[in-house]
Copies of this chain bind each other. A is one copy, B any other.
């Protein structure tokens, strides 16, 4: 089985002196050494570059990966650059889950759920629009460019593959404190978009395209909705299970090692179970992370809290660096370029066509959807101004590891499509990822500074947080700010009028009441009790997210 066949490497290196007393193959050991050394170097260089205008950790890792692949290529005299080759199995089984779990675990839940409607509108509907536009564009343009061997299934898959954005660069630049609304939207949309495009990709894979009829779009929608809701439910169930087990079993005598181990194992188990049932593991583990940070995290010891908060972030950080290094190393794989057999001109033509489609596809939903949302807002301060819309558009132009992994999954294994066009699609995906990460990525910081920071006088432009705080205070004033006491004597009338005036906040408030009354007694969690000074959450926002 090739679940982890990646560690293979340096295939043609001549191993001299076979009297090695080591128990492993020398190739594997060399590759692992180089890889861990490069990872350490990425972290150190990334730290030194901290605050640099043009570079960030992703770009550093990508360039370092390219560089080392170049060195290997020179050392083997152009025969091979394969110190490591990208395996989508390694990516989906071991690298992506911790990143997404950490995203859920550290998400500022209050902000995420406050902007829930916006995030889901962009993440789900937006990704679907982008998917349709790219698929249609590819369908229409590819024949003109001489790519003829692909079928409907391939076109739809390309749409899903190129709809998966990578907002790491943008998030490294945006500040959570200065522009909380934008940060929460870009972050939330990034996660939901990953999940949506993977779900779309899976839906495309599972549908039989041999008899195309009018029902195919409906089928696709049905599969999509089914995957979406069952995956979410599974993730929530797994999170609640972990909260229940730890609350019930460890009452009285806590053991940090067991608690941390159980949280890690159950989170991963939820991901694998989702894959087993052909659901979307990404969505499952994301919601598992949210539930764990809301309930489980409050049932464990103080040191478990600090440990989980940091270790999930660390593992996610290592995985991210690993992925960019990995993509960089893989990009110079000489065999891949040879298999494509396309002239440089064709590759560039196709890549720029796809890049153009991506930009149009994203523009086609960001600006319209933002304006539709603006119609629903009462006050000017809540509206998404054009500058913010531009940043949201830009944040989704980079393509990263999910795109590469999906592209491999579609084109590296199937014998369905012609080998030449498949290889061409993989090299074009690589070009798009490298170009967008390095070029778009490095101008992100100056661009955002130019667009956002220069025009910061009217702090209102990013002030959707301010009315929210007022709303919260309003709610508290009206209900007496009693928290746990007096939940029952709350006037029903007030809730109803609030629901009309502040729909999001009222839903949030009603959820809090439900949480306090039914969920917390069973699953633990801090729920609605006041902030305890000195606890690891130094903001009033509940959960393990960083301040």
- A residues engaging B (CB < 8 A)? 1, 3-5, 7-9, 19-30, 32-33, 36-37, 39-40, 43-44, 46-48, 50, 88-89, 92-93, 202-203, 205-206, 245, 249-250, 253, 255-258, 260-262, 264-266, 268-269, 272-273, 275-276, 278, 303-304, 306-307, 309-311, 313-314, 317-318, 409
Bound-state CA distance A1–B26 (Å) is 11
Given known contacts A4-B7, A261-B314, A264-B318, what 11 new A-B pairs fall within 8 Å (CB)? A1-B25, A3-B25, A21-B203, A23-B88, A32-B272, A33-B276, A256-B314, A257-B310, A257-B313, A260-B310, A307-B310
Residues of B within 8 A of A33 (CB): 269, 272-273, 276
Contacts of A37 in B (CB 8 A): 269
Q: How many copies does the complex hold?
A: 2
Rounded to whole angstroms, the CA-CA distance of A247 and B8 in the bound complex is 35
Min CB distance A495 to B, Å, is: 40
* Contact status A303-B310, CB under 8 Å: yes
Complex: how many Å from CA A19 to CA B258?
Answer: 39
Interface centre among A8, A206, A276 (most CB of B within 10 A): A276
Q: Tell me, rounded to whole Å, the shortest Cβ–Cβ distance linking A224 to chain B.
A: 12
Contact B318 A265 (CB under 8 A): yes
The DSSP consensus for interface residues of chain A is: helix
Give the residue of B3, B47, B262 whose beta carbon is less than 8 angstroms from that of A258. B47
A321 → B minimal CB distance (Å): 8
24 A-B contacts (beta carbon < 8 Å): A1-B25, A3-B8, A3-B24, A21-B203, A23-B88, A23-B89, A23-B275, A24-B93, A28-B89, A30-B276, A33-B269, A33-B276, A37-B269, A39-B265, A40-B262, A40-B265, A40-B269, A43-B261, A44-B249, A46-B258, A47-B250, A256-B313, A258-B317, A260-B314
Contact (A278, B20) CB under 8 Å given A303-B310, A306-B306 = yes
| Alpha-carbon distance between A306 and B310 when the two chains are bound, in angstroms | 9
Known: A307-B306, A310-B260. A28 touches B47 (CB 8 A): no
Instruction: Return A357 CB to nearest CB of chain B, in Å.
Output: 24
CB A230 to nearest CB in B, in angstroms, measures: 13
> In the bound complex, how far is the Cα of B202 from the Cα of A306, in angstroms?
41
Determine if B25 and A257 form an interchain contact, defined as CB atoms under 8 angstroms apart: no
